[in-house]
Amino acid sequence: MVDKLYPLKFEPIYQYRLWGGRRLEHFLSKPLPENEPVGEAWLLSDRKDHASKVTEGTLKGSTITELMKKYSDEIMGNIGNHFDRFPLLLKFLDCNEVLSVQVHPSDNQKEYIPKGDSGKTEAWVVLETGKKSRIYSGLKEGTNKENLLQSIHDKKVSDRLHSFVPEVGDAVFIHSGTVHTLGGTVVFEVQENSDVTFRLYDWERTDPKTGKSRNLQVDKAIACIDFDQVNIGPVTPIKSQKIEHAEILFDNEHFKLWRIKNKSEFTAGFKYEPAILVCIEGSGSMKYNEKKYTISKGEVMLIPAAVGQLNLLPNEKITLLQIAIPNKYDTEKL
């Protein structure tokens, strides 16, 4: 059974968003749907409504949902017993226009989470910016329920939000309960496998497809806000002591993410744990069971735990995001 698994690549799933654009054409080889704004490309998704499909090899056409049911232990390794579906959702976002002002619940706010779902902590890596680029991350100090609600009524919500102009390479951590939005920016996003979002404000706009305003969930959003999440800026990368030419951008209970920039051969993946690779620049190749597997800009690859570590040879140079799923049930860190 183990021999059936190999490094798995998946087809991106494009999502219409009124705030989207066409810039994901620069990052992905799959053509975008014609004549509509594409806001999201779901790179690896184990959702009932949108399950990622394998693009190559003997498992081509299989969904990650099907693979998790059949090969959960082989994919997840030491943490296979703790998840009934793949626990992360990976995306590229083209935020051509600013998104709604929103917040996500935490895992322990069960009354606001549909059965079978989770809270939503997420993080962004900035890939492209423009003249209108801005990230809103957290509240300004002194913001409380009353003056935030008043700012919604007065249509001055941005006055209550901390914001900054991002630069390419910035990494921003958005813990559940953090009020946030962004615009004029292309980012990679890693998050808990959840689609629970509560909108506080949507800039008084209408959806061209429906001619109507999108629904707001102000009461639920307010209930889920952590008012201590203020003035959130880019993280400070930490040089990795275990992975050469790598820096740690995020390390929390839901995901750990390294950014690797390398021109020479290096080891990717982990022993006994799954790894997800997202190529954001360049290309490279690996060998497994005498077969060659390539990864290039815009592609995501899941290395099952049963496959383990592989030597990755860049074509000139490569920039990878490598993601691990922390074992919350083990005191040892990767």
- How far apart CA 129 and CA 133 sit, in angstroms, is 6
* 10-224 and 238-324 in the same fold: yes
Res. 333: pLDDT tops 60: no
- Residue 182's SS3 state is strand
How confident is the model at residue 332, as a pLDDT? 39
Element counts in the chain: helices (H) and strands (E): 3, 18
Q: What is the pLDDT of the chain when averaged over all its residues? A: 94
Task: Give tens-digit pLDDT for 47-69.
Answer: 998 999 999 999 999 999 999 99
The residue type of 135 is: I
203: alpha, beta or left, given left = phi > 0 and alpha = psi -120 to 50? left
Closest CA to 86 of 103, 101, 67: 67
Does domain 10-224 match CATH 2.60.120.10?
yes
Ordered DSSP codes for 6-60: --EEB--EEEEEEEEESGGGGT-SSPPPTTS-EEEEEEE-B-SSSB-BB-SSTTT
φ/ψ of 299, rounded to 5, equals: -95, 150
Query: What is the 8-class DSSP label of residue 253?
Result: S
Query: What are the φ and ψ backbone dihedral angles of 327, each rounded to 5 degrees?
Result: -85, 95
* Tens digit of each residue's pLDDT (9 = 90 or more) over 137-155: 999 999 999 999 999 999 9
SS3 content of the chain, % helix, strand, coil (to 5): 15, 40, 45
Question: Which two three-digit tokens encode residue 294?
Answer: 């390539």
- Where along the chain do its domains lie? 10-224, 238-324
* pLDDT tens readout for residues 161-215: 999 999 999 999 999 999 999 999 999 999 999 999 999 999 999 998 899 999 9
DSSP string of 103-156, one letter each residue: E---TT-GGGS-TT-----EEEEEEEEEEEEEEEEEEPTT--HHHHHHHHHTT-
Q: For residue 79, what pLDDT is reported?
A: 83
CA distances from 94 to 123, 131, 199, 226 (A): 15, 14, 19, 27
Which token pair is 78?
């030491």
The answer to whether residues 151 and 160 touch, using CB atoms and an 8 Å cutoff, is yes
| Answer CATH for 238-324 from 2.60.120.10, 3.30.70.260, 3.30.460.80, 3.40.50.300 | 2.60.120.10
217-222 LR contacts (CB < 8 Å, sep 24+): 218/149, 218/152, 220/112, 221/102, 221/103, 222/145, 222/148, 222/149
Whether the per-residue pLDDT at 6 is higher than 80: the answer is: yes
Cα maximum dimension of the chain = 64
The DSSP call for residue 171 is E
Q: Kind and range of the H or E element at 224?
A: helix 218-224
The model's pTM? 0.95
